Amino acid sequence: MMEPVLQLEIALPERGSREVLRALHRQLRAAIVEGRFAPGLRLPSSRRLALACGVARNTVLAAYDLLLSEGYVVTRPGGGTYVADVAAPGAASARAVAVRAAATSGDARLNARWRTPPALVRLDPGANFEYDFILGLPDKRAFAFDIWRRLSARALRGLSKAPATYAQAQGRAGLREAIAHHVSYARAVACEARDVVVTSGAQQAFDLLARVLVTPGKTVVAVEDPGYPPLRRAFALAGARMAGVPVDAEGIVVDALPHDARVICVTPSHQFPLGVPMSSARRSALLAFARQHGAVVIEDDYDGEFRHDDRPLDALQTLDRDACVCYVGTFSKCLFPGLRIGYVVAPDWARDALAAARQCADWHGNLLAQDTLAAFMREGHLVRHIRKMRAQYRARRDALLDALARHCAASIRPVAPAAGLHLAAGLCAPVDGETLCAAALQAGIRVQTLAGFACEPHTALEGLAFGFGMIEAHRIDAAIARLAACVR
């Protein structure tokens, strides 16, 4: 193990003054008490510290022994000396008080919107859950990682021969061409490579759109209620005035849109989280509203590649004749989230602004991943992977619907999704969603309530959301049978 380096300037008196040990001990103890040395930090060996301080090794050993007797450090056999997890004696230091005060009240040096930041979204695989119905995670076990490694190695060789420079903020030309071809084939989205802005996942696409579309304190952004919380946060933290709009069996209720809405965020292919597709009539009405009021529509097509039943309805971007739709896509659902590549198909008037915003954010993202994905798509591997996974996800959806009908027909009413990796279900009284989810967790089942996706507590729906990206079809019946026991 590499020797740790002590990041602390130690000032010691002259050798022979009989104060060297005391001074060394005092400064090491102060660093631990004040939190400059975190619990668990490995201290340098006595020999290394003695050499750094210009003192005898026995002096360092004596200082460590004092700290050990006072409980400030611990030793591990053959593993060195480590800072103990101890509280400061007496009153907490001024620094600790300041840190706690800033954490509870928000430091005035921060932008007011960030003094109480939103909780981090965690979508970790359910290693501790026997049955995991979490939303938002696809199954990557069937992904062709061997092909990806080969293409990545080839892309890396290409990068090694290319000049050392920054790339276009809009994204690699090869990837933009591949994306334009893919969305044209898979979703009938009419675009060219120049219309595509590559992003680090859909979330960065939302952030960039918020940057270029929102005037803080003025722009009204309409979002689906219930809807996707990370999208809401991106626009709210950009200073937008947020307006939740209800969703029914045909999608967002256009008649309920505020007349001053200038940005409208929707998931028309597979409403998140209710799963309903937006009807043709509602799509026409939404585009007519945008045309009449000069609004921008952000179309989030997060898992539109996975159709289970009928022919998909046309994307809003396909129907748009007024350049008012920004189409957002991602590879997190059809491949895997760790890839962190998404894109915006932008109208001409928005493209340059989005590219400039991307450059300000992180310039151009990971070139190796972009080049690898471009080759993966160009050689047909993406289409084959989607075709394979579509069959698997359809089998899981059907197994889930069948199991819910057989085990929970009296208490859980699912809505059969025509696309995507999850389905929503209503609950019959007196079943309470929060109580049921808590009981399910105790039984080793992770499932989420619809209430967590509401814009406001009073608009929350009573129901559950079942993701089937992380659970195999043959395990679903046993999971729902156990969930039914929780209901009883």
320 & 418 share domain: no
Counting every residue written for the chain, the total comes to 488
Task: Determine the pLDDT at residue 91.
Answer: 40
pLDDT of residue 90: 47
The domain total for the chain is 3
In a domain, 257, yes or no: yes
What is the pLDDT at residue 257?
A: 98
Residues 228 and 316 in one domain: yes
Q: What pLDDT is stored for residue 4 in this prediction?
A: 67
Q: Is the dihedral of CA 121, 127, 132, 136 positive or negative?
A: positive
Indicate whether 194 and 254 sit together in one domain: yes
Alpha-carbon torsion 222, 224, 229, 231, what sign? negative
In a domain, 348, yes or no: yes
Of 323, 274, 305, 272, which is closest to residue 136 (Cα–Cα)? 272
In a domain, 25, yes or no: yes
| Contact yes or no for 343/196 (Cβ under 8 A) | yes
Amino acid 92: pLDDT: 45
Proportion of the chain above pLDDT 90, given as a percent: 69
Question: Residue 457 and residue 460: Cα distance in Å, rounded?
Answer: 5
Q: What is the CATH number of the domain that holds 316?
A: 3.40.640.10
At 308 the pLDDT is: 87
Residues 236 and 346 in one domain: yes
| Percentage of residues in the chain having pLDDT higher than 70 | 93
**Domain annotation covers residue 55:** yes
pTM comes to 0.80
- Give pLDDT tens digits for 234-265: 999 999 999 999 999 999 999 999 999 999 99
Stretches in the chain below the pLDDT threshold 70: 1-5, 87-105, 123-127
CB 375 within 8 A of CB 158: no
Report pLDDT for 140: 92
One domain for residues 294 and 224: yes
Say if residues 52 and 44 touch (Cβ distance below 8 Å): yes
Q: State the Cα torsion 307-312-314-317 to the nearest 10°.
A: -10
The answer on 397 and 300 residing in a single domain is no
**pLDDT for position 479:** 97
Structural domain boundaries, residue 69: 20-83
pLDDT in tens, 77-119: 777 899 998 755 444 455 555 555 555 567 889 988 888 888 7
What is the predicted pLDDT for the residue at 101? Answer: 55
User: Locate tokens 């119905």: which residue?
Assistant: 133
Query: Which CATH number do you get for residue 53?
Result: 1.10.10.10
User: In this structure, is residue 190 part of a structural domain?
Assistant: yes
pLDDT score for 126: 54
**Is 104 within the bounds of a domain?**
no
Final residue of a structural domain among 379, 394, 423:
379
Q: HEC states along the chain? A: CCCCCCCCCCCCCCCCCCCHHHHHHHHHHHHHHCCCCCCCCECCCHHHHHHHHCCCHHHHHHHHHHHHHHCCEEEECCCEEEECCCCCCCCCCHHHHHHHHHHHHCCCCCCHHHCCCCCCCCCCCCCCCCEECCCCCCCCCCCCHHHHHHHHHHHHHHHHHCCCCCCCCCCCHHHHHHHHHHHHHHHCCCCCHHHEEEECHHHHHHHHHHHHHCCCCCCEEEEEECCCHHHHHHHHCCCCEEEEEEEECCEECHHHCCCCEEEEEECCCCCCCCCCCCCHHHHHHHHHHHHHHCCEEEEECCCCCCECCCCCCCCHHHHCCCCCEEEEEECCCCCCHHHCCEEEECCHHHHHHHHHHHHHHHCCCCHHHHHHHHHHHHCCHHHHHHHHHHHHHHHHHHHHHHHHHHHCCCCEEEECCCECCEEEEEECCCCCHHHHHHHHHHCCEECEEHHHHCCCHHHCCCEEEEECCCCCHHHHHHHHHHHHHHHC
Same domain, 308 and 409: no
- Same domain for 200 and 348: yes
pLDDT on residue 108: 87
In a domain, 354, yes or no: yes
Are residue 395 and residue 318 in the same domain, yes or no? no
**Domain assignment present for 79:** yes
Domain shared by 359 and 447, yes or no:
no
Task: Name 267's Cβ contacts closer than 8 Å, sequence gap at least 6.
Answer: 224, 227, 228, 299, 300, 301, 302
CATH number reported for the structural domain that contains residue 412 in this entry = 3.90.1150.10
On whether both 74 and 184 belong to a single domain, the answer is no
Cβ neighbourhood burial of 466 (10 Å; 0-12, 13-18, 19+):
buried
Domain boundary among 45, 61, 83: 83
CA 198 – CA 175 distance, rounded (Å): 8
Same domain, 205 and 344: yes
